[in-house]
Structures are given as structure tokens and as C-alpha cells.
Amino acid sequence: MTTVRQATGWVGWIGFAGMILILNGLFSAIQGLVAIIGTDLYYVVANGSLFLFDISGWGWWNLVFGVLLLITGLALLSGATWARVLAIILVSLSAIGQLLLLPAQPWWSVIVIAIDVLVIFAISMHGRELADER
């Protein structure tokens, strides 16, 4: 006798998580390419002081992270187990990064952290349903 598992509505949230990872990966990769191809120098004038930044290293980091997010999102939509594990790690890093941005952009950070927590819950508690549905 076999037990049949019934998929819940959380499978849709896992699809949402996959699409968020894909879009975030595309945006990060494009930002990285622009930073690598464009000018290497970025400056900000604040309170009469000039701050100079070299963004080529940041561009390479964003390009690699973006491609990783894109691949993980596609694999998550296909139901791969390794993608669920990697997605939880990447989304956790996103939430930690948003904590660092909390003083600068509080509303955006809180929204992203809330979505990250929802995505982590959906993947960790109901990720197997997506694999069973495929």
C-alpha cells in the first residue's frame, strides 16, 4: 500500500521563489556587467567630502552571484533537491545583506526580509511537494 501525498498551495510559493531567484539573478548579472564594462570609478560628494570607489570588484561579484541565482532559480523550478538547499542559503544571505541596508532603506529592507523569510519557509517546509508533483 502506498501513501499518496497531496500537494498544497505552498507549491505556488516555491514557484514564486524560483521566479524571484531568476529575476534577481538577471538583474544582478546585468548590474555586474555594467560595472565591469563601464567606468571603474564611482564618486559621491557628501557633506563637502569626496568619496571615490572602484567598482570593478563589485561588478565581478555581482556577475558571479547573479549567474548562480539564475541557475538555482531554474533548477528550483525543475524540482532539484540541491537547488532547494542552495536557494535557502542564497536567500539567507540576501536577508543578512538587507539587515546591513536597514538604516539606509528601512522599508525596502523590511519588505525584502519578509519575502526572504516566506521563501525560506516555503522551500524548507514544502519543497518536496514540488519534486513530487513533477
pLDDT for 5 equals 64
pLDDT for 95 equals 87
Confirm if 80 and 72 have CB atoms less than 8 A apart.
Answer: no
pLDDT for 13 equals 82
Query: Could you tell me the mean pLDDT of each successive run of 10 residues in the chain, 134 residues long?
Result: 66 86 89 83 72 77 90 91 92 87 83 87 79 61
CA distances from residue 38 to 32, 50, 52, 61, 117 in whole angstroms, order as listed? 10, 20, 15, 15, 35
Task: Supply the DSSP symbol for 104.
Answer: T
Q: Where are any strands of DSSP class E within the chain?
A: 41-46, 49-54
